[in-house]
Structure 1
Amino acid sequence: MSTLQRRKVNRVDSNDSDEGHTTTKTAEEIAREMKPGNIPGDDDDDDGSSIGARKIAYDPEEAKLKDNIKIPTLTLMEEVLLMGLNDREGHLSFWNDNISYALRGCILIELALRGKIRMLDDSARKRFDVSERLVEVVDVSKTGEVLLDETLQLMKNDEPLTVANWIDLLSGETWNLLKINYQLKQVRERLAKGLVDKGVLRTEMKNFFLFDMATHPVSDATSKEAIKRRILSVLVSRNMELEYNDMFPKTTSFALIRTISLICSAYGANVLDNVVESLDFEKREHAIGRADEILAEFAQYPFKLDAQSEYGISINLNKEVKDEIDGSPGHDLELEVVAGVIEVFSRMDLLL
């Protein structure tokens, strides 16, 4: 038996206002009338437009992020993590100690390429190595990426510190008890969940001896393969040419610098071997050798763009990078941060 009850509602009919007729409505009819858009007098604005067709809430910052065609879909950190993941098993190597430290460096590069941070503009800074120069925050607006926004907040609330200092603090490598809480927690897992949200990975629970653990196998292999091809175009081809796609559009700002940063980050994180493992022995050795050259050329600022490749690989790279920088003037201080992080990557074996 239905639990709906009939209730009486006094309504004055327009045609019988003097008589005050009483009509009977069901609860269903009342609920239907109370829905947005069915409420009397709410059908139209003052200008006659329908309220139902308009957004109830509007966040201009969110719209700005969504419409930003200069930012690729995947962050640098996500791309590096993806290169380190086993496609089927969905986890990183248990013996890789470098990747966590390298991912913190990737966060600084990503913030710099988005124009959020830059080197402190002090002429005396050139007396120091690029990784020992002070970094300042210049834009605190949201990025839409939780790890980036969390880092930006930490940097905003502290005095300017060096590139190397920030990577250490974000990694928890500090003896300063007042700043031990600067360490970013569960970075790998949070990045993996971000890739799940973007449709690149999926989540599965797997049993590892005595406990269950969430793993993240690759669900969209085309995205990972596109990143590998972009890296190999620089490390294998005589004349490099980037391949663009929906996740890495041609409108991406500093596309070449991003790709170089990806190669250096993957090298520092010990996951570059996963990219070149499909090559024959000679090509693999040359690819790693070319990555070494790139690491040395871009671990300083200005970048060493007059260097020649010993391996005859991507011989047009430095000219293309120069054209890219010249085409976007006024970003030297941001690119200096990129160089500072790459310098840290170049001496990872000494740091860890």
Structure 2
Amino acid sequence: MGLIRSERAAAVLLLLAAAGGLIAANSPLGAGLFELQDAHLAIPGTPLDLSVGHWISDGLLAVFFFVVAVELKHELTAGQLNSVSKALRPAIAALGGVLVPALVYLAITAGSGYEGGWPIPTATDIAFALGVLAVFGKGLPTRVRVFILALAILDDIVAILIIAVFFTADPSIPMLIAAVVGVVVFGALSRLLHTRMRALVIVAMVVVAVTVWALVSLSGVHATIAGVALGLAMLRGPGLRVRHALEPATNGFILPLFAFSAALVPLPQVGLSGLAAPFWGILVALPVGKLVGIAVAGRLAVAVGPRDPASRLPMTELLAAGALGGVGFTVSLLMNELAFAGSPEVADEGTLAVLLGSSVSIVVSAVLVSLLAARYRRQRALAVSTPS
């Protein structure tokens, strides 16, 4: 269980699952897996009728977003983002890491008709980025991990807002109002978990959470937003305990299953010139746009941030953070699915671009983080060996 909680293990599982999905899709198993992914599963007596693929991306992934929201709430109230001064630098860097990739994508896809895919390269996979940092970053100062964690969390906030605002069409107001009431009830119930009725409260919370998810799903808003709302509504202490309990499931099952399902795409049987503009837009914007946007904005943030030398990151560390930010994976794959829902072939190419762009970012960030960590280990060893 402890291994599944490891950031390294989570990153490896995610990568293996994505690679497995791509390989399986282009093997003799592909046709059967596509058929299974498109098969519909309805809940009798309800309007809920989703394909297996959507049960994974809309249903199971809502649990992951719940866990993310609990961490967001902790960081915003008692963690690394609980004051304006702490949040300012990573916030400015995160803004650059959203705007620059979006602009790069729009510049490449201008006039193609697929400009709506601009959110795809703006996302950072927090689990994967921290996994790469854990594997290659032994010896890095704590401030680097803190900055990257804050950056990725703020990036997640932006991603959640983008999903809620740009991928919602004609929402059902009555359904949303009912969902909001359910979220309030869920939050109130979480404050009763310390009482003698704990078992009954847990059952009630599960029922309310499932009901809220169903209402949001039926409202026209993407169902993962239900997970976000429930995570933010839950009392922080119990929320962190639930997050700890769910972590093995999200790391070891939900995220790998989503990565496998999302990467289940056939390789396009066309030459490089036949690939659609979104493929090139995502492929360039993820590794290049993220790195440039985070590094440059992070550098600018030094001029306006608090005068605390211990929290300032030199350009080498900002470049490493920017490269890690280009690892899109989970949220970028979800954005791709939403942006190109009506164009399956473009969505397939977008998935490949996310996987390739994220892979480039993994390699670049691994090299930069390794070099940076080695330098700090040498400096530490030199300081220990030099007599005072």
**Bin for the TM-score computed over the shorter chain:** under 0.3
Higher relative contact order (CA 8 A, sep 6+): 2
Q: Which protein has the bigger helix share?
A: 2
Q: Which has the higher strand share?
A: 1
Larger Rg: 1
TM-score (norm 1): 0.26
